[in-house]
Chains A and B, each alone.
Chain A
């Protein structure tokens, strides 16, 4: 994996001044979004290989209702097994942030700037499942795409150039024998490329069966793929394993009243929503967005089951997911899940495009059974679940149609969402679809090419696009 998810949760001392810390982080975040007065400068764009970063204060319910923790979540370039990449990032982060003492000074174990890297490393949490939209792309290559795109736009839309012929005539996509030949070659080569993927999947499966047992692993994987009949491969698998989903009937929502906005009942809320902030409005004004969810895990059995599900998700994300496409979802840059607090809670961190509403709708449409499998871990704590028979609420301990009740499911997510005080993105206006298109158009194209060569190559790439 060429990306590393850095997640650090540091406990704040009881004496920590939370409102001041929150204000400080918010002010720093506003400076990043060119919205603030620029008083607290964080030079995060100078941190090499940093894609996304967020900082937020979350609750620490195990140690008391007033206790809190500071969560740092970032995605950086570099091998996740290479500890030096994380250390280098943390060292650069320490230099980029204006005053570490003001941020982590109230944390237990923090000894000052000199011991910052060791302090953060000691609180690192590894993700149980990690999806990366474009495994081959790093911050530099994405910036290169920006430059290529600028040049391509200059060539496409020249300033002050008149076209005396009038509007260009409409014509369909030109037929290209080459395109079909390449598609045929890929189709023929497919079985060969499948071998290492299948081998890796079997290795993952063996590891998961050893860790969680056969039944949870099998049940977790089959629950996820139950709703994926739109893919011929999975449809065949479901048919062979009699893995069918029962038809959802019109049902009553478990929360009859629309409550997708804060404020929520404090008891059902694990995150730390900033007083007075209006979450939907703040987050939805950006092209890129972030979601931090902390949901409860009902018991140890559910934790074991969740481990198997996340193992399956992780295996799929690493081995099978195609660039910019997680089972049909094209809005996620990075998403990761990890159990925290000794397995009592599940933390989900996502960096995605567009509005929260669009994001959750896409989740429900594309991988509803996956959502059901993951949040079965929070069974009986507010996540919706539906009986399909007289007594059946769960099958193999997994929810039925839970996230299909969009209104209740959104309520559940909102109630457990924590608002980031600071959110940084290296390229805030770049969406997953942009990167997908750029990868296609600018394959084997360089900035040093002549205009003619550049245009010819890009048009060739565009014509070879598979739609």
Chain B
């Protein structure tokens, strides 16, 4: 099999390898196939013929020339129900991973992912019930809002939204955007989420895609085998990940690529090659409740409401300062604006073994534990962590509740005092969370279940992820909290509850271009 760098990146959808950083406006069309599959296939053929679907091909026309960045990008992914409605054959459908087949609305899966109570699937906006199940998503990225509107209108007109449409939107247009701010220390452009923290700093890279950075211990931890994120390449175990297979007789046009298993199973071709799984979660963020909770905890712990201390508590919960500076490297508030090092070149085991800089239960220490998983050596921990990484895509929706830039300058206490007076405006805001992984069970679900939702992760007690966990939702007497180890005095934030809520979720398969072409001809007569 070819190695990743030799592979034809033109056969891979661009969402896998690029966050489309310059395209800050996003739109997600969640569609449902209601008409004839042939019409839907014709729409997909049109999409491909027009060249709308963005691939992973480099934007650099020549090695020595600058990148020619596109104005928009479109990607298409299908749910299992969608492939079934598209009339993909039963044998292929059965060869997908069980997690993808069952979907996040499965009651057992939802319970272990923390989607219970008010977050249970039948209360979701879409994707939770049979009648609002999603069949496919069209992900649109564009440089401007006008460009996004133009692309969406083209897509919609192609969908023939005039009565005889084959595909209908399930839940209106889900629009989003990257909230761009400038970093006053580095002068760079950063993306924030609604609580006010810089987002998307630690993203794993595919081995072979770029030159690995020199420092193996810190920078190298972010580089994972391509098979962790794309089907058809070896993963971190050194094996090819399980892939959906199609019987050769079903691929009369010979459009699907040969399977890596052709020697043992010559009768099958590879439906999954250059494809991957895409997880979607629409999460609302209760910003006023988040800062209100911290204000209340600050008053209870220290007897006063001090905005800088509130900010300190928030940073402890996240594991980074709002400007992305890691607590491990800059534990004090004054260090936040002085730190000039790399935002992601840090480890936990040696720098902060007792969690007094970055608490063990903080968000960043859970979703990417790096070298601190007990009781293995740092090297083993890094290896185990690499088998559970996610490439995060997605964007925020809704207007920010307050001017998030005040968090980047904590010395301006007067501006920071706004944090103490925040009140909910009743508008919805949050995150369209997408992540790319080759195994939903081993990657997304594992991280969510075993690292985020688990109260006992890595030796913790009654301590779920304070940012994305399901704190306060247990049906028992035990109270969730958040421990801030200190020397000599530790603190515990009590009565922790959840600040993010799941409003929709779906598991998608993001096919390779060959498979997309196959799907576009599947019902063509």
Residues of A within 8 A of B (CB): 34, 149, 153, 156-157, 160, 162-164, 166-174, 230, 248-253, 255-261, 278, 280-282, 284-285, 287, 324-325, 328, 330, 353-355, 357-358, 361-362, 364-366, 404-407, 429, 431, 433-434, 436-437, 459, 467
Contacts and interface: CB of A to CB of B under 8 A. Distances in A.
Interface stretch (B11-19, B231-239, B400-408): B231-239
A355 B241 contact: no
Interface of B: 1, 95-98, 106-109, 111-112, 234, 237-245, 259-261, 263-265, 268, 300-304, 306, 309, 312-313, 331-332, 353-354, 356-357, 374-377, 379-380, 383-384, 387, 439, 441-442, 446, 449-450, 454-459, 461, 476, 478, 486-492, 494
Contacts of B302: 162-164, 166-167
Contacts of B312: 167
Contact of B384 (A162, A249, A365): A365
A285 B476 CA distance: 14
Contact of A433 (B107, B309, B357, B458): B458
25 contacts: A156-B492, A163-B302, A164-B304, A166-B306, A167-B312, A248-B238, A250-B239, A251-B238, A251-B240, A252-B264, A258-B98, A258-B439, A258-B441, A261-B98, A278-B108, A281-B107, A281-B109, A330-B375, A358-B446, A365-B380, A407-B241, A431-B459, A433-B374, A434-B461, A436-B459
B353 A467 contact: yes
Given A250-B234, A355-B449, A407-B239, A328 B356 contact: no
Nearest to A324: B375
Given A166-B302, A167-B302, A361-B384, A256 B245 contact: yes
A167 B261 CA distance: 59
A156 B242 CA distance: 49
Given A163-B301, A167-B302, A365-B384, 10 more contacts: A252-B263, A280-B112, A284-B449, A355-B446, A357-B442, A361-B442, A366-B380, A404-B238, A429-B478, A433-B458
A375 B243 CA distance: 26
B108 A170 contact: no
Contacts of B461: 149, 429, 434
Contacts of A260: 98, 441
B315 to A, nearest CB: 10
Contacts of A281: 106-109, 111-112
Contact of A357 (B1, B109, B446): B446
B376 A366 contact: yes
Contact of A162 (B244, B303, B309): B303
B112 A157 contact: no
Contact of A256 (B1, B111, B259, B442): B259
A455 to B, nearest CB: 10
A170 B332 contact: yes
Nearest to A459: B488
Given A168-B489, A250-B239, A162 B97 contact: no
A167 B240 contact: no
Contact of A284 (B112, B240, B384): B112
B242 A407 contact: yes
Contacts of A436: 459
A405 B237 contact: yes
Given A252-B260, A358-B450, A365-B376, A167 B309 contact: yes
A282 B487 CA distance: 40
A160 B300 contact: yes
Counting from the closest, the 8 A-B pairs by CB-CB distance are A281-B108, A162-B303, A250-B234, A433-B459, A258-B242, A261-B98, A258-B97, A170-B331
